[in-house]
Structures are given as structure tokens and as C-alpha cells.
Chain A
């Protein structure tokens, strides 16, 4: 015989304002099966939980209903309490009388009546609850990191340092990401490559890290602790294990007029090329689209000249499969190309800044390459159109960012700081050069950041102009900017030699495809969503998948590295466990009545239904039935609702329980 305890929470004023909690407890006490009912101000508090524990003992309760907030909030808490009291945790149910009742009603009589109804349905359900045991699943103690920028590098090194294997997958031919393109970094002005390349090398040499460059994740299946991943290793047309990195092929390749992506199109590269001198791995690849051999069937210079016969035109993409326990997504960002409209219609371009029209209007990353010692000018600031040293540069902040009209309302977070750095580097390199920064407001909230901006203003005399530039056009070989100085309250005109636009940070193209493959949500800008904006910033809502870096939102290097280490610590917490516990509220098939119609197989979104053979002792096939993989099943109940022979039930939500709830709700008061 069930002995049910009902505990009604006031949630301070949250519930008690529109629900007479004492009345609810009083009515609950009269419900069939209920032997004890009580109301209390904060049921989730320590004394609140003590009340439940005491009641379980004193009244020999067999099950518990807590009428309080949403199960999302405190189901874990109260099931834990029930467990400590010696009950099976699944014998505890939570009646939501806050979100579903007190918050949406205004008068006490209405709220109270509804709360009583809700409690009655849960009492009816809990009476039919069966003890359930958590499902234990094994953990594959390997981690995959997607993206080899600073975020992915940091996460991979941290996980590998703890002794676990890491598979690092990078889409480009080298790891390093955008950080490898930067000149100096704020706020200390240390050289980006100097601090990054040792880490890149460490990744390549680490015995626990398996590096797949020029590779993409093709398919992901499975679940936390037990992912199966297919990775496409795109053909480089150069055998990695044979190449001796002599560089002859890249020197002799006759196709030399291809815009160099690493230098943001500021100079050219060959068709067979290494993305940049410090690339890891330092192995060339052939850019098929621009290679004379692949396009015209002639040439073959690289193959002829290679002393070790590493060039292989017949090479094909390879698919490799990896078993993975946890995944870190670190796919990074691209700068918003303001010269054109977004193909998806999400953003529109900015014709007024002349980007794409005037060679001397460049974006932030292009300026990084100009200022970098490894860049096309060897670190000298020369303008792209004629190679002259610019005497005046205008830097424009918030281009694309914070502009609802054009489709992006977010702040790109890094521009205020990197423009201060750009102007500073420029004035250090070009004596007598004058830098102007047009800004909306200055956001320099990081550690030592504001001091850095003040240094740009006070020591390097960068001229900050508060206001937007409305148009950019050419006058002779000068670029004229017209805009407003909103501090002086008057229109201004400035003649500059070069313009640098701090364009918005947007997620890497194609990230939404990856997100769909992984089953993780993203926002309207396609930044990947964290599980909770404050309390779970590196987790996603899908167990076992974590985020690091700009794929989650624009951020600078310190924040990216911190988040990557955070994600790594979550991965380690997962991998260090011998087995994982999963909710036992999963579907179960009654094999005696299953007719193998496979309707469940069709509807299951998680591929959790397997086709199982039932054989007799001699091994003859008797029949086929559906079987639920308890590791994959998420307990959504679609199969149970679809099953034509009524052979599937969802543990914790079976037909009998749901019917009892409906009957209780339909009772005439």
C-alpha cells in the first residue's frame, strides 16, 4: 500500500503570493494514498529537506510529491533528498505549481484551485511509480577537439597533459588559426607568433595528440562517453609521411598569382604551397582549383622536382573513424565581409566605406599582416595600392557591429583594443605618422586594458574622434572621410592615406552544419549556444560536448584561452570517471507483442532503435523485434506514442501513469 507524503513549497513569495499553500497541503492530505502533507517556506533549503527526510522516516513514506518550482530547477535536489531518506529516487515526483500556476495567475482562489489539481495529478502518478535504477554506460577515454586555433590548441594540450588521448581536427592545412596571423597582441605587445608557435609545435610533438589537419568532421553518432566520429582527411596530393619539407616544389611551382589567404590577399602564393613558414605540419599541399596540372592536365613540375617522390596526383580523400568520449568545439571566427551582402540575407553590406572598391581600405586582419614581421611587407606599414608609407591612417570602429539596421546588434568585443594597438604600432613604425580612431565608445574592460588605451592616447598621441564616418571616397591619391565629431558637435572631413575598418566578428562559415551534426543549438548569428550564460559557460545542452573560443561569441585571446582550459577541465571530469550514469527514463519494448513494423525505427530521432533477432536454441530465427539502445535513448517517448501494437512503454512515464494523471485532472471538484 502506497504511503505518500506531499510537501508544498511557498518559494518565498513566488508561490505563496497567489497560492494558499496551507490550503493545498490540507486538501492534499485528503487525497487517496496520502498519509502526510505539509507546507513550508523554502522546501529546497536545508531545513526544508530535513522536513522531508524526517517525514519519510516517521511516517514510513513509500513515495513523495514536492509541489514547488519546475522539475528543471529542483528535480535533482528532491530526488537526492528522497534517496538519502532511503527511497528510490524515482519514487519522488515534483508538481510544478510555480511556472505552471502561481506565476501565470493573479488571484489566490484560482491559483489555489489549480495548484490542488496539479498536486492531485502527481499524487495519482506517484502511486504508480516503480523504482528505477540508473543506467551505467562505459566511457571511451579519448577527446576530440574540432578546430586548431588557439582555443583548440589550448584545450588539446590541457587534456593531453592529464594523460588522455586527444584527436585534434583542423579544417585548414595548418593549425594556428587567426592568432598565427596577428602581429603583436594587446595589452602587452608581445609578438603573437612568438607565443603561439611553441604551442603549435608542442601539439605536433605530443605523444597523446593525434593531429588531423586539412580534415573535416563528416559525421558524428553516439552519445556522451561513446561518440563515433567520421573524419574526412582531404587529399593534399603530397604524402605527409614521405615529404622531407625541402621546399623545392613551392619554389618551382609556375602558378604564382594566387591570392595568399594567410596574408588576406595582400600578396600571392603558388598552387603547391605551405600556408605560412611556421605552419604545423610544415607540409605543402596542392590547391587543386589553381593547379595547372589539375586544371589543364599539363605541368607536373612539382612531381618532377620532388627528390623523394612525395607528390601524388592520384591521392584521394580518406575517411577515418575514431571512438571518442568527449568533444570540444573550437571552430573560431571570420571577419564579416562588408563589401557584399550576406548570401543568407542576414547582414547587408556597407557601400559607404569603399571596401573592395579602394585597395587602401582594408580590414583589421589585413592590417595585422601589414604590421607583422612575417607579413607581405616584412612588417613595414605600406599601403596596398602603391606601396607608399601612409602619413595618415584612419581607423574605424564598429563597422558592422552594433548596427541593428544592417543586421548585427552584438559588440565584437575585440575591436576597441586592437584598434588602439594598431594605431600604436603604426605610430611606432612610421615616425610622424598620425593615427585617427573613429569610435562610438571605448570598451576596454579587461585586465590592464584601459591603461593600454590611455597609453595610446597619452603617450602615442593617437587622435580619438567620437563619431561615425558616413562616407569614404577618393580625392587624387588620398582617401577622404566625412563624418561627425559628436563631441564637438560638428561635421568633419579628414584626408587619409589609408583606412582600416574594424569589421564585425562572425562565426566560421559552415558552423551550423557541424552544430546540426552534433545536435547543439546556435543563435541567430550562428554562434554556438552555451548551456547557461552564467553558470555553464563551456558546456552545451548536449552532454559530452563543450565549447571554447569565438565559436561561442566574439572574444579576445585571454578569454579564449581561459574558456578552452575551462572546457578541458570539464572533459577531464568526464573522462576520469570509470562509467557514466544516465537517466533510466528510457523506452522499453515488450518483445512478446512487438510485430516488427519498424514504425518506432522510423520516428526515433536518436537512432536508438535496433533490429533484434530472436532465435531458438538451435539458432533458427523465430522473429524480429525492436530493441532500444539504452545508451542512445533520450526518453522522448516518440516511439511509445507511435507503436501500433502498444508494445513500447517509457519508464517513469508509462501509459498507466499518464492515464491516471489525466483521470485525476478530469475529476469534478
Chain B
């Protein structure tokens, strides 16, 4: 079946590598994606903090468009995923808001588009068995710490993604493609994204702790599924070196990039060159690249 694909703004900008690797993996697995026609902002941070009607309207507008393609929409960005899933939740729990939002967005939609994260696509739609069978170069010996962050798993009652405190879904993907799963405490810690502008020190402190934990537990790389997490964990390592004096030098890869490597895709197809902390040395050392 064809899945509707909602990239969102990050994947068209800073997270171009996430976009390219997601599409490459889906191509390799024979999963057709069709971009949601005329998609608009998902409504995260600016809207959902200030205007409930606006954010729900943006959600239903995107979901109604997605529905015209398929009843399942794949969303790689954790923030977009959270927002669209919340929009479904909001209209199913508040009839008055639903009527207003549909009116404002000038669409008809009944909450019947299923919102799927890329990880859910891999685990629940394609299936781990099929994924395992498609692996050409298993990530043998590569210790991967799966970092879920907050938006993928919380709030639990809406997201219903996995256990919000000890999620396993991404670890299952890592195991399926042959990587070594790292049991570590930082899985759902906050990367500090919301404090990025007002209080950068907090972000550095958070990221420093997360990376320290990952390395202490033996991780070679960290797998992420959110452009904001990737940005913070990857980009902030420079500042941490300068201001805290700790050199982590640990590559932060999108889960789709790791899956792509196992499927035998090339570094350029997966846009590995866009990462700030170069992943090539460790991947080469482990024989993955």
C-alpha cells in the first residue's frame, strides 16, 4: 500500500539527511511514499503554546490532505508526529473544538487518518522479520544507544507509542539490523530543546549528561528519531568542548541512517556527510561502512 508522507519543515531544512535517509530506506524496502499534497506547518511550538484552535486546525488540515492519499500517514519528525497525533486526539475528545477546527481549516475529516512514526512503520507495518530479511550488511559490533527524547513517547495516554519511561521500539529496530543494543539510562531524558534560545547553558548541561551516560554504557553512536534531538546532541558537542571542557566526539545518527547502512545503502544516499560529528571513522572501524 502507498503511505502518505508528511516531511514537515525540519526535514526540508536542517534535517535534510533525515528526509533523504527515510525516503532511501523506504525505497529499498519497497514501501511507496506519497507526499501529502499542500502540507502546511504542523503547529508545533509557536501555535500549540498560544492558540488551541489554530493548532488543531493546522493538524486537521494536514490530516485531511493526508487522508486524500492514504489512511496511514508516515511522519519522521517527532514533533510533527506528536502534533498530528494530538490533533486526532483533540478532535475525538472535544466535539465543539472539532467543529470549529474543521470550519477554520475548511476541510471535512473524521479522525480516521492513522499517524505513524517511521519507527512504527518499520516495526508494526513492515515488521521486524521482513526488516531482518532485507539486511545486507548487519551493524555487527556497533553499539547503539537509542535516544527517544520526549516527543515520541509523551504524553503516554495520547502517544501510546511505547512505555514512556523505558521504551524498547527503537532498540528492537537496532537489534533487527544487527546492532548491539545499549541498555542505558538516558533514553527519555530531555535534550533541552525548549531552552535552546532562552537558556543555552541548560541545553549544554542536559546534552553533556546524555552523552556522558551513553558513552559510559559503551555506546559507539547514538540513534535518534527527532530533528531537534539530533541538532542538540550533534551540534552542541562543539560548545560542550569549549564551555564544559569535555570532548565527547560521539556521532549522532538518525535511526533511518543506521537502517539504511544495514540495508547496504551508500553514505551519500543516506546523507551521512551532513552530520557535524563525523560518523565515518567509527563506522569504518566497525566495518559497517
Contact = CB atoms under 8 A, between A and B. Distances in A.
Interface stretch (A12-20, A28-36, A473-481): A473-481
B162 to A, nearest CB: 9
A473 B218 CA distance: 14
Interface string A335-369: 00000000000001111101001000000000000
Contacts of A474: 183
B163 interface: yes
Contacts of B247: none
A471 interface: yes
A350 B163 CA distance: 8
B166 interface: yes
A288 interface: no
Interface string B158-186: 00000111110000000000000001110
A36 to B, nearest CB: 56
B165 A352 contact: yes
Chain B interface extent, by class: 10 to 19
A482 interface: yes
B84 to A, nearest CB: 23
A349 B185 contact: no
B185 A357 contact: no
Contacts of A349: 163
B165 to A, nearest CB: 4
A473 B167 contact: no
A351 B167 contact: yes
A471 B165 contact: yes
B156 A471 contact: no
A468 B166 CA distance: 17
Nearest to A351: B166
Contact of B184 (A348, A354, A473, A482): A473
Most buried by A among B163, B165, B183: B165
A357 B166 contact: yes
A471 B185 contact: yes
B216 interface: yes
Nearest to A471: B185
Q: Mostly helix, strand, loop or mixed at chain B's interface?
A: loop
A351 B163 contact: yes
A474 B166 CA distance: 13
A351 B183 contact: no
Contacts of B167: 351
A473 B185 contact: yes
B156 A480 contact: no
Nearest to B157: A348
A34 B39 CA distance: 79
Contacts of A475: 216
A480 B163 contact: no
B166 A480 contact: no
Contacts of A351: 163-167
Contacts of B166: 351-352, 354, 357
A350 B166 CA distance: 8
Contacts of A473: 183-185
Contact of B156 (A348, A354, A357, A482): A348
Contacts of B184: 473
A475 B212 CA distance: 13
Contacts of B156: 348
B119 to A, nearest CB: 17
A445 to B, nearest CB: 32
Most buried by A among B156, B163, B185: B185
A357 B167 CA distance: 13
A360 to B, nearest CB: 14
Contacts of B183: 473-474
A357 B184 CA distance: 12
A354 B156 CA distance: 18
Interface string A435-477: 0000000000000000000000000000000000001011100
Contacts of A471: 165, 185
A482 B167 CA distance: 18
A480 B185 contact: yes
Nearest to A340: B163
Interface string A386-427: 000000000000000000000000000000000000000000
Nearest to B167: A351
A475 B184 CA distance: 9
A480 B185 CA distance: 9
A647 to B, nearest CB: 47
A473 B213 CA distance: 11
A1 B151 CA distance: 80
Contacts of B164: 351
B284 to A, nearest CB: 30
Nearest to B213: A473
Nearest to A358: B183
Interface string A541-556: 0000000000000000
Interface in A190-231: none
A657 to B, nearest CB: 44
Nearest to B153: A351
A350 B164 CA distance: 9
A352 B164 CA distance: 9
Contacts of A352: 165-166
Interface in B211-234: 216
Nearest to B166: A351
A480 to B, nearest CB: 7
A105 to B, nearest CB: 31
A366 to B, nearest CB: 20
B209 to A, nearest CB: 10
Contacts of B165: 350-352, 471
B170 to A, nearest CB: 14
Interface in B126-177: 156, 163-167
Contacts of B216: 475
B163 A482 contact: no
B122 to A, nearest CB: 21
A471 B167 CA distance: 13
A354 B166 CA distance: 8
A480 B183 CA distance: 13
Most buried by A among B156, B163, B167: B163
B164 to A, nearest CB: 7
Nearest to B216: A475
B249 to A, nearest CB: 22
Nearest to A470: B165
Contacts of A482: 185
B96 to A, nearest CB: 26
A323 B263 CA distance: 72
Interface in B169-205: 183-185
B50 to A, nearest CB: 25
Interface in A117-149: none
B2 to A, nearest CB: 33
A349 B165 CA distance: 9
Contacts of B163: 349, 351
Contacts of B185: 471, 473, 480, 482
B16 to A, nearest CB: 33
A473 B164 CA distance: 15
Nearest to A481: B185
Contacts of A480: 185
A259 to B, nearest CB: 23
B98 to A, nearest CB: 24
A409 to B, nearest CB: 16
Interface of B: 156, 163-167, 183-185, 216
14 contacts: A348-B156, A351-B163, A351-B165, A351-B167, A352-B165, A354-B166, A471-B165, A471-B185, A473-B183, A473-B184, A473-B185, A474-B183, A475-B216, A480-B185
Given A349-B163, A471-B165, A473-B184, 4 more contacts: A351-B164, A352-B166, A473-B183, A482-B185
Top 5 nearest A-B pairs (CB, nearest first) are: A351-B166, A351-B165, A352-B165, A473-B185, A351-B163
